[in-house]
């Protein structure tokens, strides 16, 4: 199957069936692209990377730093002082301050660029694709429109694409849309070509994460043609405005220039009225004008901002320009319209309730296992090992080293089981799953059947109905705000 590789990619793939989109891109989903097609399309569309900004030469950066209005005033003062007074002490001090300020700003910017480049180099990952009838791992930059990508829980989506197959698929799109909860995805055709990105449930987008399930994706956009690429383009085309501190320093430089001119004029007029010589008047006027310029101001500002940048760097922040430190420091309110934009996108169990009416407080936060289950009524906490075992087994998420793979809610339950003394991975190995009823958002229920060697156990997890209390009794067990633990059948699981 051949395709004109200069043909644009489908404009609204979510309104087409997977077969139609695959036909437009000239690919058979069962076999994928051939090596020749990949080579041609990589040449036509370019690598699957976001365009890097144009690198500014070092000399241009230095010129930009010296173009500051106060710096120009200091340079003029140094030159005039050297020409008129023929003394080198003041000009040398001024030029030393200017050099120090320029070096501090230039070094900070270079460090930030080097750090960002190191992050880009370390973030190159691979994707599993189907090419020539075989599955293989290829670097993300080598993906092209028409590639068939295989995804599972924990994977990061490497490019924009139309879903061909989706099994219990949920995707965390907080990086793109700001939605904190994972979104259910499917392959159903959508009729509206004008749907916003957040409502395109049959599409996946670059740099979002698969929380649950597995999928087969037909790539429809790579590099700057992805939604993330469009955002990067908009960010790159924004006009860089001066910070409040920079504007204040510019106003101060303008004011000092006016003051210096007024001083020169007043001294000249008064000297002429007194009959002083032109040479003495000029020397006196220039000396007074230079004295109005605060030579140490730029050095003080640069050192203060450099200290702020060092403190921020110790907390993991990369500051490209020293002036950005003042911008962060002067921020009093941050407005956001989406949950999850500024949060860690983590969920934590804070409390548990039993059918007997007891409540327990859970300490710790995030996906670390540091914390404990404490009794809220002063009585000792009972052994809840069966409940913790249910949290671990009726669960598809995994947490390793504080990093979650899977659904955030299930990850919170895994962490709770670990805090209760259950090794989730070890429990799953000891009680292998033999069957399951996958979680469905319509009936809000999930069940797994796990068979240890002596018997079989059934664990169920459900979301309570809106009119249910936090503690309810099921037909065969108790609901602790979600998991229902059922005893094994009396026949021993036969």
Kindly list the catalytic residues: 337
Distance of CA 276 to the CA centre of its chain: 69
204-217 residue pLDDT tens: 999 898 888 889 99
Contact 340, 179 (CB under 8 A): yes
Q: For the purposes of burial, counting CB atoms within 10 Å of the CB of 224, is it exposed (0-12), middle (13-18) or buried (19 or more)?
A: middle
Amino acid 147: pLDDT: 94
Amino acid 190: pLDDT: 93
Amino acid 377: pLDDT: 72
Output the pTM of the full model. 0.58
Integer Cα distance of 107 and 131 in angstroms:
46
Torsion of CA 179, 181, 187, 192, to 10 degrees: -30
∠ CA 203-209-210, rounded to 5° = 75
∠ CA 301-303-309, rounded to 5° = 100
Amino acid 414: pLDDT: 93
Amino acid 157: pLDDT: 94
Amino acid 441: pLDDT: 66
Contact 166, 215 (CB under 8 A): yes
Q: Per residue of the chain (494 residues), what is the pLDDT tens digit?
A: 444 444 567 889 999 999 999 999 999 999 999 999 999 999 999 899 887 666 778 888 888 778 877 788 778 877 877 777 677 777 888 888 888 878 887 887 787 777 666 666 655 688 999 999 888 889 999 999 999 999 988 888 999 999 999 988 989 888 788 777 888 999 999 999 999 998 999 999 998 988 888 899 999 999 888 998 888 887 766 666 777 777 887 788 788 888 878 877 888 788 888 887 877 777 777 777 777 777 677 777 777 877 887 787 777 777 777 777 777 777 777 776 555 456 677 889 999 888 888 888 898 988 988 888 888 776 777 778 888 999 999 888 888 888 887 778 888 999 999 998 899 988 998 888 888 887 766 677 788 888 876 555 555 565 554 433 333 333 333 333 344 444 444 343 33
Amino acid 230: pLDDT: 87
Structure tokens at 76: 């003029």
Integer Cα distance of 12 and 220 in angstroms:
10
Tell me the domains of the chain and their CATH numbers.
13-48+143-235 (2.70.150.10), 58-118+241-329 (no CATH), 351-486 (3.40.1110.10)
Distance of CA 267 to the CA centre of its chain: 60
């Amino acid at each position: 199957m051949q395709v004109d590789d200069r043909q644009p990619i489908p404009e609204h793939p979510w309104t087409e069936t997977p077969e139609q989109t695959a036909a437009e891109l000239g690919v058979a989903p069962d076999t994928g692209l051939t090596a020749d097609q990949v080579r041609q399309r990589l040449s036509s569309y370019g690598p699957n990377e976001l365009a890097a900004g144009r690198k500014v030469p070092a000399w241009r950066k230095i010129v930009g730093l010296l173009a500051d209005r106060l710096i120009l005033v200091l340079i003029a003062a140094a030159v005039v002082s050297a020409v008129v007074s023929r003394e080198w002490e003041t000009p040398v001090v001024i030029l030393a301050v200017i050099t120090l300020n320029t070096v501090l700003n230039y070094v900070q910017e270079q460090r930030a660029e080097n750090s960002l480049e190191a992050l880009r180099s370390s973030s190159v990952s691979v994707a599993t694709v189907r090419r020539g009838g075989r599955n293989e791992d290829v670097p993300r930059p080598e993906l092209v429109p028409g590639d068939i990508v295989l995804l599972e829980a924990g994977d990061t989506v490497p490019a924009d694409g139309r879903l061909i197959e989706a099994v219990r698929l949920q995707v965390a799109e907080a990086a793109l849309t700001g939605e904190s909860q994972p979104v259910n995805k499917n392959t159903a055709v959508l009729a509206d070509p004008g749907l916003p990105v957040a409502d395109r449930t049959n599409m996946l987008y670059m740099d979002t994460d698969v929380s649950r399930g597995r999928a087969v994706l037909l790539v429809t956009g790579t590099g700057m043609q992805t939604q993330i690429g469009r955002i990067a383009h908009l960010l790159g085309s924004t006009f860089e405005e001066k910070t409040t501190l920079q504007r204040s320093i510019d106003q101060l430089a303008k004011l000092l220039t006016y003051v210096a001119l007024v001083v020169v004029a007043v001294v000249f007029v008064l000297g002429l009225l007194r009959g002083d010589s032109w040479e003495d008047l000029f020397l006196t006027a220039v000396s007074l004008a230079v004295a109005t310029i605060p030579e140490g101001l730029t050095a003080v500002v640069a050192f203060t901002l450099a200290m702020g940048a060092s403190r921020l760097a110790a907390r993991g922040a990369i500051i490209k320009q020293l002036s950005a430190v003042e911008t962060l420091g002067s921020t009093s309110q941050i407005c956001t319209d989406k949950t999850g934009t500024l949060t860690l996108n983590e969920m934590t169990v804070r409390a548990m309730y039993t059918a007997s009416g007891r409540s327990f407080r859970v300490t710790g936060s995030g996906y670390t296992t540091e914390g404990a289950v404490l009794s809220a009524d002063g009585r000792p906490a009972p052994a809840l090992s069966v409940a913790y075992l249910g949290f671990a087994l009726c669960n598809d998420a995994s947490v390793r080293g504080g990093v979650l793979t899977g659904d955030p809610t299930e990850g919170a339950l895994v962490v709770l089981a670990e805090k209760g003394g259950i090794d989730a991975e070890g429990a799953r190995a000891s009680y292998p799953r033999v069957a399951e009823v996958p979680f469905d958002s319509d009936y809000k229920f999930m069940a797994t059947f796990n068979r240890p060697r002596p018997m079989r156990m059934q664990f169920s997890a459900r979301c309570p109905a809106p009119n249910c209390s936090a503690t309810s009794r099921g037909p065969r067990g108790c609901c602790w705000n979600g998991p229902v633990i059922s005893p094994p059948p009396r026949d021993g699981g036969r």
